């Protein structure tokens, strides 16, 4: 029995998944929702409220407390964490943590909660996360300093992007220069959690590091021009990036004594949640596109060769299995679907019926621009929800049509903004909480004209962490690990070819209306 633990510190929850690579099965799958389990952090959706809708921060100590609570729950259930042979995982991409003293110099006493011991290390009390869009000024300044958006994209794989870590660091340095000067170490969520587990200053991996507007993809090292354009002395605050297979250390004595891990258990570099999901979906080789339906929606795939989006919306990250991956992110994912469900008073079974049984493809011409929060793709600076169609629909008196409208708009946006990849997927693998909704999957199949399949294990990011730990520790090839753990479920949702003209017309309308709002 060879057991490996994968962790996923996402926007709204922390998940833990253990695989037995000898038996080819998942032996533990647990999650903790921050809003429900940790109300003292005042983050019902995983982030702190702010008067400025463009500002989205979280308390990094919430992620640490979640880790302790979840490990305590697992141990209390009778599971022996001492049987774990290796640990890896993922963090929500682009979130950053700022420390006045390196993690590697900290010693944690076992008689006090970690959050209390880590609080004095923070040079910045809160962490900007991927939903933050308050750094437009900083993006422009970084781009101007290195020769424009095209130059930033050529170096880093993405244009200067508000939620990315480089612009967030620049904003911190100019708005709080004393706090920035006091910062000795900057982490991503992924390297922060890995460092806490290993009791060391864990490096950032290539997969997550590429989401910072700081990594030079060609050399897989920090770009000197981008570092200089971002903040003074930044190179000294970042450890050199590493491959995702890197062992960053062994489990810290704190976790050995409090939770029963075996001393010396390897901790493998954590990565971003999207690169980790690429592995957890068994899609680390080119040929299959993945749609992740979570707080944000994303479309991603392994790339045959590095390629950048001429429109500036898509991104290129490191593929934990080697090479590169592309990704397109949409901020208005599950939170937007939830907003429509709440406004129309549809529960999720009724939401699904509305799409499958009560409406038809094209939605009788009813169209929604569903930007309940500022959008990333396309760039919408402020929340903007617009309805086009029948008077009943425009007045929010057509619940079934509203349910289809939000899903069709999201699927059309995914198709439009992933076209630059240059490959028409024959199969879409769906993951994330909303992948359980068959109505959403049917719309995706029809809009993309691709077969949609889901995984038996829903938490692909945590699964990716567990498989990466197994690959790094045991040396098993990914293909061997994918066979038992990443095979899609038996259900196949086929597209209806007859609706192609309907969606071509609706896609043109969506593009025209979205273009009026984007910048």
pLDDT at 148: 96
Residues of the chain with pLDDT > 90: what percent? Answer: 82
pLDDT digits (tens, 9 = 90+) for 490-513: 889 999 999 999 999 999 999 999
pLDDT at 519: 61
pLDDT at 474: 95
Q: For every residue of 99-142, which 3-state class applies, written as one string?
A: ECCCHHHCCCCCCCCHHHHHHHHECCCCEECCCCCCCHHHHHHH
Per the omega criterion (within 30 degrees of 0), is the bond before 378 cis? yes
Kind and range of the H or E run holding 31: strand 25-33
**Average pLDDT, rounded, for the chain:** 94
Task: Give yes or no for a contact between 265 and 277, defined as CB atoms under 8 angstroms apart.
Answer: no
pLDDT value at 119 more than 70: yes
Kind and range of the H or E run holding 10: none
Q: Are strands 315-318 and 324-330 parallel, antiparallel or unpaired?
A: antiparallel
User: Residue 29: beta bridge partners?
Assistant: 17
Handedness of CA 426, 431, 436, 439 (dihedral sign): negative
- pLDDT band with cut points at 50, 70 and 90 for residue 446: very high
pLDDT digits (tens, 9 = 90+) for 311-351: 888 999 999 988 899 999 999 999 899 999 999 999 999 99
pLDDT digits (tens, 9 = 90+) for 127-166: 999 999 999 999 999 999 999 999 999 999 999 999 899 9
Cα distances from 384 to residues 141, 243, 373, 473, 516, in angstroms, run: 27, 40, 7, 48, 12
Q: Which domains does the chain have, with CATH numbers?
A: 3-274 (3.30.420.40), 282-454+489-519 (3.30.420.40)
Kind and range of the H or E run holding 266: strand 266-268
Q: How many residues appear in the chain? A: 519
pLDDT digits (tens, 9 = 90+) for 4-40: 999 999 999 999 999 999 999 999 999 999 999 999 9
- pLDDT band with cut points at 50, 70 and 90 for residue 286: confident
Task: Give yes or no for a contact between 231 and 138, defined as CB atoms under 8 angstroms apart.
Answer: no
The burial of 519, by beta-carbon neighbours within 10 Å (0-12 exposed, 13-18 middle, 19 or more buried), is given as exposed
Residues of the chain with pLDDT > 70: what percent? Answer: 100
pLDDT value at 455 more than 80: no
pLDDT value at 518 more than 90: no
Cα distances from 427 to residues 173, 239, 452, 454, in angstroms, run: 44, 38, 6, 10
Q: What are the b/e assignments for 460-483, b being 16+ CB within 10 Å?
A: bbbbbbbbbbbbbbeeeebeebbe
User: Alpha helix locations (H) across 185-292?
Assistant: 189-198, 206-209, 224-230, 253-259, 273-280
- Both structure tokens of 145: 């300093």
pLDDT value at 395 more than 90: yes
Task: Give yes or no for a contact between 451 and 428, defined as CB atoms under 8 angstroms apart.
Answer: yes
3-class DSSP state of 239: coil
Q: Rounded mean pLDDT of 382-410?
A: 97
pLDDT value at 517 more than 90: no
3-class DSSP state of 192: helix
Cα distances from 287 to residues 10, 91, 130, 398, 482, in angstroms, run: 26, 25, 27, 39, 15
């Amino acid at each position: 029995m060879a057991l490996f633990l994968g962790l996923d510190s996402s926007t709204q929850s922390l998940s833990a998944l253990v695989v037995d690579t000898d038996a080819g099965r998942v032996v533990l799958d647990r999650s903790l929702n921050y809003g429900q389990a940790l109300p003292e952090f005042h983050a019902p959706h995983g982030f702190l409220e702010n008067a400025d809708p463009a500002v989205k921060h979280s308390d990094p100590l919430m992620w640490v407390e979640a880790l302790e609570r979840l490990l305590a729950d697992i141990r209390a259930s009778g599971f022996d964490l001492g049987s774990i042979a290796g640990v890896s995982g993922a963090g929500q991409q682009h979130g950053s943590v700022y420390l006045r003293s390196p993690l590697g110099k900290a010693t944690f006493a076992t008689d006090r909660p970690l959050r209390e011991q880590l609080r004095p290390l923070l040079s910045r009390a809160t962490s900007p996360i991927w939903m933050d869009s308050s750094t437009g000024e900083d993006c422009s300044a970084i781009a101007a300093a290195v020769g424009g958006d095209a130059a930033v994209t050529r170096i880093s794989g993405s244009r200067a992007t508000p939620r990315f870590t480089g612009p967030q660091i620049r904003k911190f340095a100019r708005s709080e220069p004393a706090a920035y000067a006091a910062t000795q170490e900057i982490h991503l969520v992924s390297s922060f959690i890995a460092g806490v587990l290993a009791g060391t200053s864990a490096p950032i991996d290539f997969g997550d590091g590429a989401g910072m507007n700081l990594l030079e993809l060609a050399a897989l090292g920090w770009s000197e021009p981008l570092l200089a354009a971002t903040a003074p002395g930044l190179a000294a605050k970042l450890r050199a990036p590493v491959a995702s297979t890197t062992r960053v250390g062994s489990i810290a004595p704190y976790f050995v004594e409090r939770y029963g891990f075996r001393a010396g258990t390897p901790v493998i570099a954590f990565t971003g949640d999207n690169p980790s999901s690429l592995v957890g979906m068994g899609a680390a080789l080119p040929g299959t596109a993945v749609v992740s339906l979570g707080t944000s929606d994303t479309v991603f795939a392994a790339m045959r060769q590095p390629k950048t989006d001429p429109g500036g919306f898509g991104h290129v990250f490191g593929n934990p299995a080697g090479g590169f991956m592309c990704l397109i992110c949409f901020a208005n994912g599950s939170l937007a679907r939830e907003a429509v469900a709440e406004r129309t008073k549809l529960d999720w079974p009724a939401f699904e019926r509305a799409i499958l049984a009560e409406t038809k493809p094209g939605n009788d011409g009813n169209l929604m621009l569903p930007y309940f929060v500022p959008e990333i793709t396309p760039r919408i600076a402020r929340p903007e929800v617009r309805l086009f169609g029948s008077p009943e629909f425009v007045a929010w008196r057509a619940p079934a049509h509203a349910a289809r409208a939000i899903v069709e708009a999201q699927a059309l946006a995914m198709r439009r903004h992933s076209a630059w990849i240059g490959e028409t997927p024959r199969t879409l693998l769906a993951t994330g909480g909303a992948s359980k909704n068959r109505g959403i999957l049917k719309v995706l199949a029809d809009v993309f004209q691709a077969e949609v399949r889901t995984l038996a294990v829903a938490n692909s990011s945590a699964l990716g962490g567990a498989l990466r730990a197994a690959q790094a520790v045991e040396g098993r090839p990914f293909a061997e690990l994918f066979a038992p753990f990443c095979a899609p479920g038996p259900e196949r949702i086929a597209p209806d070819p007859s609706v192609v003209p309907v969606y071509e017309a609706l896609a043109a309308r969506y593009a025209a209306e979205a273009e009026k709002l984007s910048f």
